Amino acid sequence: MYFFRVLDVELSLPQGVYLFLGYSTKDEGLLQAVTGEGVMETIGAIQGLVSYHNINNNKSDCRMLLQAHENENLVLQAVMDEFDLNREVGNLTAELLNREKVILICIWVRVAGTMYSMFPKLKS
């Protein structure tokens, strides 16, 4: 299961958990043919899937923040609302980041399974 393509640019990103979502012009064409929307419009749908899977399993909320859109890549940062206070005061420890990462990886695996079962062409 692959979510990203290699970025050929250097990004300066804050500490956090990220989803690197790669796509091609062909991928975007398939998406537009099925949904009538482009890649940028999928961020809301991804947010909806993440929220659905997260709230149903962890009883906490997660937001997806667009950090970069480079070439054929979206870089989304996933943040758990329960860590916002620590994030705001600059006290996001390695332990908190690891907890956030573990929760979010579980969510993304479920989201990917949902997306691939709905749209098998995404795997190719």
List the 62-70 sheet strands across, edge first: 17-22, 73-80, 62-70
- Beta strands of 1-124 (E only): which ranges? 17-22, 62-70, 73-80
What is the residue whose two structure tokens read 């537009």? 32
Backbone angles phi, psi at 20, to 5 degrees: -95, 110
pLDDT of residue 63: 81
User: How many whole angstroms separate alpha carbon 97 and alpha carbon 17?
Assistant: 7
User: Residue 48: how many CB atoms within 10 A of its CB?
Assistant: 12
Pick left, alpha or beta for residue 2 (phi over 0 → left; psi -120 to 50 → alpha; otherwise beta).
beta
Give me the tens of pLDDT residue by residue for the chain, a chain 124 residues long: 344 455 566 778 877 788 888 888 888 888 889 888 888 888 888 888 777 776 656 566 778 888 888 778 888 888 888 888 888 888 888 888 888 888 888 777 877 787 778 777 666 5
